[in-house]
């Protein structure tokens, strides 16, 4: 182990956060860049996916809410790309290379499991289209909540600038989640929309359960060693599933069975926005 690695790990083990690239080993920087890029690309792709719903939202008030959510997601992307730029990552070249595909969406009835089908690093749930108002709502309810559970780990991670950036992002994600809860209750309790609410919930719940990565992932073990993550992928997934189960039962929705195929799950737990 090099002197830099020993010094870095001593800081991490004593709860001292790193503040600059000069304090990092190449391994730490590579893993940090990967996680930051996943979040930045997901925030940008997610914001793009919401844009049509500014015009299509059912009321003027909701158009304003969707516009605010789009603004939040693009702000989150800018913050995350800023962290990457501070580490010497060429953000402009990366975004220019991928900007035309951040809007790419697959067929609504497709099932890509855990696959990533483009060269950007978005979490793969952002390949699915948001075709209905119920899609928008249950995406807020499921995916934003799943992201929130993952961001909990970031709040205790070993890279100081990321911790501070996440504080503001986390508060805005909570607003998105509350918006989803309000509408899920409304759609689920109305007999006219209950069946569609259940079907849409089932779709987005299963997709969200695929974002966390497989238990005991070697990549996740590296993240935890470096304190870039604090929990195993499956521990985060179980926390998400337990919260959703309690809420869905309160709203009269049935949680679908989710059966993973571990051999098809990614080596890394995925971080969205």
| Three-class SS state of 225 | helix
- Domain assignment present for residue 4? The answer is no
- Domain assignment present for residue 1? The answer is no
Helices vs. strands in the chain: H and E counts, helices first: 11, 0
The CATH number assigned to the domain holding 71 equals 1.20.1260.10
At residue 173, the pLDDT reads 87
At residue 262, the pLDDT reads 62
Q: What's the mean per-residue pLDDT of the chain?
A: 93
**Residue 191 structural domain:** 23-108+121-253
- Domain assignment present for residue 102? The answer is yes
At residue 83, the pLDDT reads 98
Tens of pLDDT, residue by residue over 98-127, are: 999 999 999 999 999 888 899 999 999 999
Q: Which two tokens stand for residue 193?
A: 């929309």
- Domain assignment present for residue 262? The answer is no
Tens of pLDDT, residue by residue over 43-100, are: 999 999 999 999 999 999 999 999 999 999 999 999 999 999 999 999 999 999 999 9
- Domain assignment present for residue 267? The answer is no
Instruction: Decide: pTM greater than 0.75.
Output: yes
| Three-class SS state of 272 | coil
At residue 56, the pLDDT reads 97
- Domain assignment present for residue 207? The answer is yes
Asked if 41 and 33 count as a contact pair (C-beta separation under 8 A), the reply is: no
- Domain assignment present for residue 265? The answer is no
What confidence tier does 268 reach under pLDDT thresholds 50, 70, 90? very low
Total tally of structural domains belonging to the chain: 1
Task: Decide if pLDDT at 270 tops 60.
Answer: no
- Domain assignment present for residue 156? The answer is yes
């Amino acid at each position: 182990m090099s002197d830099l690695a020993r010094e870095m790990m001593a800081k991490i083990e004593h709860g001292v956060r790193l503040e600059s690239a000069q304090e990092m080993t190449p391994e730490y920087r590579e893993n940090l860049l990967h996680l930051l890029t996943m979040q930045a690309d997901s925030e940008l792709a997610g914001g793009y996916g919401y844009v049509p719903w500014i015009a299509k939202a059912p009321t003027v008030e909701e158009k304003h809410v969707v516009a605010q959510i789009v603004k939040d997601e693009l702000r989150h992307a800018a913050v995350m790309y800023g962290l990457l730029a501070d580490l010497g990552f060429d953000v402009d070249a990366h975004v220019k290379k991928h900007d035309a595909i951040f809007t790419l969406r697959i067929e609504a009835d497709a099932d890509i499991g855990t696959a990533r089908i483009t060269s950007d690093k978005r979490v793969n749930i952002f390949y699915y289209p948001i075709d209905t108002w119920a899609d928008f709502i249950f995406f807020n309810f499921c995916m934003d909540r799943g992201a929130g559970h993952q961001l909990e780990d970031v709040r205790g991670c070993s890279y100081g600038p990321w911790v501070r950036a996440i504080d503001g992002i986390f508060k805005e994600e909570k607003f998105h989640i509350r918006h989803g809860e309000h509408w899920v209750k409304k759609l689920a309790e109305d007999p006219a929309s209950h069946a569609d609410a259940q079907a849409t919930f089932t779709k987005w719940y299963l997709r969200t359960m695929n974002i966390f990565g497989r238990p005991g992932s070697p990549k996740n073990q590296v993240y935890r060693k470096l304190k870039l993550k604090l929990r195993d992928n499956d521990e985060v997934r179980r926390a998400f599933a337990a919260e959703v189960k309690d809420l869905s039962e309160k709203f009269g929705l049935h949680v679908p069975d989710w059966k993973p195929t571990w051999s098809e799950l990614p080596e890394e737990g995925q971080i969205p926005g």
